[in-house]
Amino acid sequence: MTNLTRTPALALGDDALILSHRLGEWAGHAPVLEEEVALANIALDLLGQARILLSLAGDEDELAYLREERQFCNVQLVEQPNGDFAHTIARQLYFSLYQQLLFDHLATGGSELAPLAAKAVKETAYHRDHAEQWTLRLGDGTDESHTRMQRGLDALWRFTGELFEPVDALDAPWQTLRDEWTTRLTTVLERATLTVPQGPQHGAWTAGAGRQGLHTEPFGRMLAEMQHLHRSHPGATW
């Protein structure tokens, strides 16, 4: 494990860990039984990715359960609360499109992340397809679903700029990824009769700083819940 891989492994591992956790919160609440299965599938894939990535950077449980909020370096997008189903789908669409493009790139490179990326890219293609299918159904479904889907996309738009901020020691053509992401997103949203949000892709001063350990308020509560039991029994094995 070179020090050079630690930062990217943590960044991408935290993204997967935190999004998996948020998706896990849907268990028992999904709008149809098929979505209980689908959302759990995605959450499990992401958790699998997180475990591999965090293990490249250290001990997976120490990293997940014993770091403080300021030490997590996931993008702020993934920590955003679930909201309604449309909000969750918007978050998933933004993230899966980005993750697939990035992993596609990493899979063909020679870094220590290449094997993981090559495996994950198939999973991510399914996640993206799932999000796209729902974006089409909700965007071009009823008036209510259209409104909700657009609202979800708009609300999360200000967290999308951070996806393409360069990560230390991670060699990727960030601007090209960003352009490709925008093109693909535009195609999906147009088919879904939705509009690409127009506002800034970075918000107030904290927005876009998740990679530097600056997070949004809901994140601390999420971590408190996630880490509580593990921290209550120091040194125990489970």
By CB under 8 A, name the binding residues for another protein: 17, 21, 24-25, 27-37, 40-41, 43-44, 47-48, 50-51, 54, 60-61, 64-65, 84-85, 136-138, 140-142, 144-145, 148, 225-226, 228-230, 233, 235-238
DSSP 8-state symbol, 29:
T
Left (φ > 0), alpha (ψ -120 to 50) or beta: where does 166 sit? Answer: beta
Q: Which is nearer to another protein, 134 or 159 (CB)?
A: 134
Distances (CA, A) of 175 to 4, 86, 107: 22, 28, 18
Q: Are 177 and 106 in contact (CB under 8 A)?
A: no
Closer of 34 and 217 to another protein (Cβ): 34
**Smallest separation (angstroms) from another protein to the CB of 85:** 5
> Of the two residues 25 and 180, which places its CB atom closer to another protein in the complex?
25
Place of tokens 């951070």: 162
Residue 6 in contact with residue 170, Cβ under 8 Å?
no
Minimum CB distance to another protein smaller for 137 or for 184? 137
Interatomic CA distance for residues 116 and 235, integer angstroms: 30
Q: Which is nearer to another protein, 114 or 136 (CB)?
A: 136
Q: How far is the CB of 145 from another protein (least distance, A)?
A: 3
3-state secondary structure of 83: coil
